[in-house]
Structure 1
């Protein structure tokens, strides 16, 4: 089997033993290189170009599905609440 190559400029680091109990790693993580503001804005714009917005039809269908699920949940909780009200009334009537 072929050996997987690591990206150029990066060396594989030896595996560190797992931290057990309350032990703390002796070496602090090296701070990452800071990104300048223009680089950050460029990265944000590049990621924003990848966004795929839903169509009007997809938005409408999803909204209707959410409305249906809310109605089902409302009916379910109404029935459970009514049942618990009747049950608690029955139990409290026994004690009188």
Structure 2
């Protein structure tokens, strides 16, 4: 029997605020993406409403997306197929450099 896994949508929270959504087959894949130092450095450099998305003192966690967050992710994915990451906050500046 061939089992195929659908992708789940995971959310990264900083200090209990959802900041971005990512699709992955398993939780550890989402954790591996977020564990990359380049991703964390990028998140620390981005701002929303004049404040950084996170800093060295932020409490970060990954969880499954709620239905509304998954819908936002799906809408953004449908608009541009090449996106893997969808921000759930409005960024102050649009940086063309992708997270990875």
TM-score (norm 1): 0.22
Normalized per residue, the structure richer in strand is 2
Higher Rg of the two aligned structures: 1
Q: Which has the higher contact order (CA 8 A, sep 6+)?
A: 2
TM-score (norm 2): 0.21
Normalized per residue, the structure richer in helix is 1
